[in-house]
Amino acid sequence: MKRKRKKLKEIKDYDEFDTSEIIDQAHPLSFEDLGLRIPRTPPTQVVSIRLPSQLLNELKAFGSQRDIPYQALIKLFLSEAIKRAKRSNSA
């Protein structure tokens, strides 16, 4: 309960200060102006896919033989398959 009250007090403290005079609305700043860059999409995303157990076991064994984690191996296979598909569509 104390934590909640402290947090509310912090928010109330911020609300007491008027910052409108220090903001120039004629020249709004972007994140780039401040030297910040926020990615539009995360570089990786989590997905869930159901694979037949036998296929997953084969991927794990194949990756283990080559000292590659099976998740990285799946990404590699998918990337190579997309490249091949693009080449065959452009031919």
- Where do runs of H (alpha helix) occur along the chain? 2-15, 53-65, 70-90
Report the SS3 class of residue 40: coil
Higher pLDDT, 75 or 39: 75
pLDDT at residue 42, as a whole number: 84
pLDDT of residue 6: 52
pLDDT tens digits, residue range 10-68? 555 556 667 677 778 788 888 788 788 877 888 889 999 999 999 999 999 999 999 99
pLDDT at 19: 64
* Residue 49, both tokens: 């896919």
pLDDT at res. 38: 79
